Amino acid sequence: MSTSPPEPVQAPVEDSGPSPVKTFKGHESFVWSVSFVPNGHEIVSASGDGSIRTWDIETGEESGDALLGHEEQVYSVALLLDGQRLVSGGQDKSVRVWDLGTRELVGRPWEGHSDSVFCVDVSPDGSFVASASYDSLISIWDLDSGEKVFEEMRCEGRVYFVKFSRDGSKLVTCSSDTHVRIWDWREGTLLVGPMEGHERDVASAVWTLDDKQLISAGYDSKIHRWDSETGESIGEPVVAHEETIYSLALSSDGSILASVSSDRSAKLWDASTLELLATFWHEGIALSVSFSPDNKLLATGCYDHLIYLWNVPQLEGDKQSKNDSFFDLPATVPPGENPKMQGAQTDSLTIEELLDFPATLRPPQNGPAKPAHRKRFLGRLIPRRRQRLPSEVHGGTELQESKNVKQGRLRAIRVAAAKAKKFIVVMGNGPRKRTPVENEENAEEEGEEEEEESNEEQGHSRAPDSDSDSDSVHGCCWRCCHWMCYEMVTCYL
């Protein structure tokens, strides 16, 4: 009898949270592994009941017959990119290849491990399979012949996880000796590691899209980030769950990280900042996780024999680029006007870049417009006496705020710079009709601006100017105000 993994200990349910879209019922034991078929219409699962099953996402029903052949628990499945075959590993020490069309075993079982095969993975080119075993060994197999083709790599404890890099040149392993390692799998030599930082067994890891970093997690309930070239830890680990983290998954665009734990939760994280985005609660321990190809759905396999399907929050539908900034929101433009003339954003900006965007100008009241100097917004926001408030922590994000700062007639209601997301909210007096006296004063100020511009070009210094127009949010643009107050603000160029 081969070794089985330790029995998970269930934590109490903390909160109900969002409800799953569907639950798939049919397994008679733990669901150790879930994965989406590349077409996105089905889910494949592996269970402690010895079966591999496929599920129709639309109907929630099992599709086709169960794949039966493993003599004991099935711990891992990995699909080929063609979506027609999958590889599995189990407690019976074997690796098997299956045809999803015929629902039959392809060839004979691959034998060579002396203990449970807990994880399998297929190389990006679909030619090789890596298997990780409780016998401390990692083996590489030729997918077509089923023969072991490269020397075995050895860790100092049970190997829980194995994954090819996205370029196919390297292999990462996670093991019970608390270490993460990176291998040249063709040579069987250790490239990086053992990486030290985890306090207990390491259960799972993901490569970032460029293969330059690794994110790992395990029994110490922490998520660690590593430089895959040097093995150095990047930043401080994040205590992500209250209990063991069994599995990680990364969305196909690399923006969202998912983790599942014996605290009965699945959590979504910003993959760049490890900021918590969402939490999904289960009735039992969550053991496995996978994103759909379009990143709209999340599947989790559970201790209660069920598979859960969840909607991935679209924070998403508001965000149009890969950058996590509220400035990535599309600009809101009055009907019939050209977005490009309203400062609509197409690229990510820092706060400093945004503040240095040319200030907006009001349209002419009477007659043709005359050329006018466009002030830079940065100068307008410098307060007469700068007040720095103590930093405070709000929702895990440290903010430094300045409230009700006045510079001339422009009023900065709230300005905040956050570690995870940078944003600025500016409001001014709304549009109103100017009096003849104000029109005359404004004409004089525009003349002064032109003179100042001329002096500046000749090398003369210039003090920050105050806002001279309360008829619009003079100096604000769609880049900064559409997020919070676009319904109330009109901006002109």
- Please provide the DSSP assignment of 149-177 as one string: EEEEEE-SS-EEEEEE-TTSS-EEEEETT
Residue 180, CB-side half-sphere exposure with 13 Å CA sphere: 30
Whether 299 and 411 share a structural domain: no
**At residue 54, what is the residue type?**
T
Whether 69 and 142 share a structural domain: yes
Domain boundary (276, 311, 346) is at 311
Q: 239: which 2 tokens?
A: 């205590």
In contact, 479 and 364? CB cutoff 8 Å = no
DSSP annotation of 93: S
Q: Nearest 5°: phi and psi at 14?
A: -90, -35
pLDDT, residue 188, reads 87
* Residues in Cβ contact with 7 at an 8 Å cutoff, skipping those fewer than 6 apart: none
Pairing of strands 159-164, 171-175: antiparallel
Domain boundary (311, 340, 372) is at 311
pLDDT, residue 474, reads 38
Structural domain contains residue 237: yes
Domain count along the chain: 2
Whether 365 and 276 share a structural domain: no
Structural domain contains residue 397: yes
Whether 338 and 209 share a structural domain: no
CA distance 405 to 385: 9
Whether 238 and 361 share a structural domain: no
Cα four-point dihedral sign 38, 263, 158, 6: negative
CA distance 157 to 68: 30
Whether 266 and 342 share a structural domain: no
In contact, 424 and 416? CB cutoff 8 Å = yes
Helix/strand/coil percentages in the chain, nearest 5: 10, 40, 50
* pLDDT by residue, tens only, the chain of 493 residues: 445 555 554 444 445 578 899 999 999 999 999 999 998 899 999 999 999 999 999 999 999 899 999 999 999 999 998 888 999 999 999 999 999 999 999 989 999 999 999 999 999 999 999 999 999 999 999 999 999 988 779 999 999 999 999 999 999 999 999 999 999 999 889 999 899 999 999 999 999 999 999 999 999 999 999 999 999 999 999 999 999 999 999 999 999 999 999 999 999 999 999 999 999 999 899 999 999 999 999 999 999 999 999 999 875 444 434 444 444 434 333 344 444 433 333 344 444 444 444 444 444 445 444 444 444 444 444 444 444 444 444 444 334 444 444 444 444 444 443 333 334 444 444 444 556 665 666 566 556 555 555 554 555 444 444 343 433 343 444 334 333 333 333 333 2
Whether 60 and 156 share a structural domain: yes
Q: 470: which 2 tokens?
A: 């309360």
Alpha helices in 306-402 (DSSP H): 351-355, 377-380
Whether 176 and 151 share a structural domain: yes
Domain boundary (259, 282, 311) is at 311
Structural domain contains residue 7: no
**At residue 105, what is the residue type?**
L
pLDDT, residue 324, reads 43
CA distance 128 to 469: 68
Q: Is 376 left (phi over 0), alpha (psi -120 to 50) or beta?
A: beta
Whether 340 and 257 share a structural domain: no
pLDDT, residue 447, reads 63
Structural domain contains residue 2: no
In contact, 267 and 285? CB cutoff 8 Å = no
Residue 178, CB-side half-sphere exposure with 13 Å CA sphere: 8
Structural domain contains residue 343: yes
Structural domain contains residue 4: no
Whether 293 and 395 share a structural domain: no
Question: How far is Cα of residue 269 from the mean position of the Cα atoms in its chain?
Answer: 6
pLDDT, residue 414, reads 42
pLDDT, residue 152, reads 78
Structural domain contains residue 104: yes
In contact, 88 and 76? CB cutoff 8 Å = yes
Q: Where in the sequence is the domain holding 379, given as residue range(s)?
A: 326-485
CATH of residue 240's domain is 2.130.10.10
Structural domain contains residue 14: no
Whether 207 and 121 share a structural domain: yes
Whether 77 and 171 share a structural domain: yes
Walk across the sheet containing 202-207 and list its strands: 202-207, 213-218, 222-227, 238-239
